């Protein structure tokens, strides 16, 4: 199986049980959400198009669904290695992410320079100082259904994202061990737990929520 990003360093799984990260809409603020993790509730930025179950490339929407974090990347020249148990790697200058639906590498890590439309992960701003890659539109990848839906650092004032979920770096610094874990991310959905030992079954069975 192709790695989500080459060169990741695997880390030991944390032993304590980890419930999901839950993101719901923030009342009267459609481009912001409330992220709940381990009993804490944190304001977060959402896409400029708010939340929707229908995601189209470039629409600025944060997709509703149940996602799994795959890995964490970080800027070693700016921040310390994030805690947690996700596979980790420092961002390199040639790291990119393809966002052209016509590319065979759509919604995948690519090496720069890259001819088709893409994001550069080594940004001049601080949005990707810490970035968690999710499995949104990964298996299978569907062209035009959205790319590079990550968890990352927010702009000041929780300004809207292009579709990602973003929290202030101060939150990452304080709660990295909780956010950078192999645990479900439920966006705009609710679910009930099932036993972890049920082979082939999700940890949470999602259903659409009214939030």
pTM given for the model = 0.88
Residue 207 has pLDDT above 70, yes or no: no
What is the CB neighbour count within 10 angstroms for residue 203? 18
In 3D space, the residue among 18, 65, 63 whose CA is nearest the CA of residue 183 turns out to be: 18
Q: From CA 46, how far away is CA 128, in angstroms rounded?
A: 15
| Per-residue confidence band for 190, with pLDDT thresholds at 50, 70 and 90 | low
Q: From CA 88, how far away is CA 144, in angstroms rounded?
A: 28
Residue 27 has pLDDT above 80, yes or no: yes
CA distances from 68 to 3, 88, 170 (A): 15, 15, 23
Answer whether 67's CB lies under 8 Å from 134's CB: yes
Query: pLDDT tens-digit profile of 51-102?
Result: 999 999 999 999 999 999 999 999 999 999 999 999 999 999 999 999 999 9
Contacts of 111 (CB under 8 A, 6+ apart): 94, 95, 96
**What's the pLDDT at 3?**
84
| Per-residue confidence band for 116, with pLDDT thresholds at 50, 70 and 90 | very high
> Mean pLDDT over all residues of the chain?
89
């Amino acid at each position: 199986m192709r790695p989500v990003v080459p060169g990741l360093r695997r880390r030991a799984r944390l032993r304590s049980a980890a419930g999901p990260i839950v993101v719901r809409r923030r009342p009267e603020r459609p481009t912001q959400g409330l992220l709940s993790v381990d009993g804490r509730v944190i304001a977060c930025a959402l896409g400029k198009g708010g939340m929707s179950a229908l995601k189209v490339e470039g629409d600025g929407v944060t997709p509703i669904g149940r996602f799994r974090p795959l890995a964490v990347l970080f800027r070693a020249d700016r921040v310390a290695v994030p805690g947690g148990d996700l596979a980790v790697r420092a961002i390199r200058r040639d790291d990119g992410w393809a966002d052209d639906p016509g590319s065979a590498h759509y919604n995948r890590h690519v090496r720069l320079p890259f001819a088709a439309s893409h994001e550069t992960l080594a940004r001049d701003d601080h949005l990707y100082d810490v970035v968690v890659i999710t499995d949104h539109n990964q298996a299978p990848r569907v062209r035009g259904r959205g790319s590079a839906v990550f968890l990352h650092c927010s702009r000041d004032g929780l300004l809207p994202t292009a579709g990602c979920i973003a929290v202030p770096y101060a939150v990452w610094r304080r709660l990295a061990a909780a956010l950078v874990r192999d645990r479900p991310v439920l966006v705009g959905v609710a679910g009930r737990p099932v036993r972890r030992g049920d082979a082939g079954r999700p940890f949470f069975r999602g259903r659409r929520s009214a939030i």
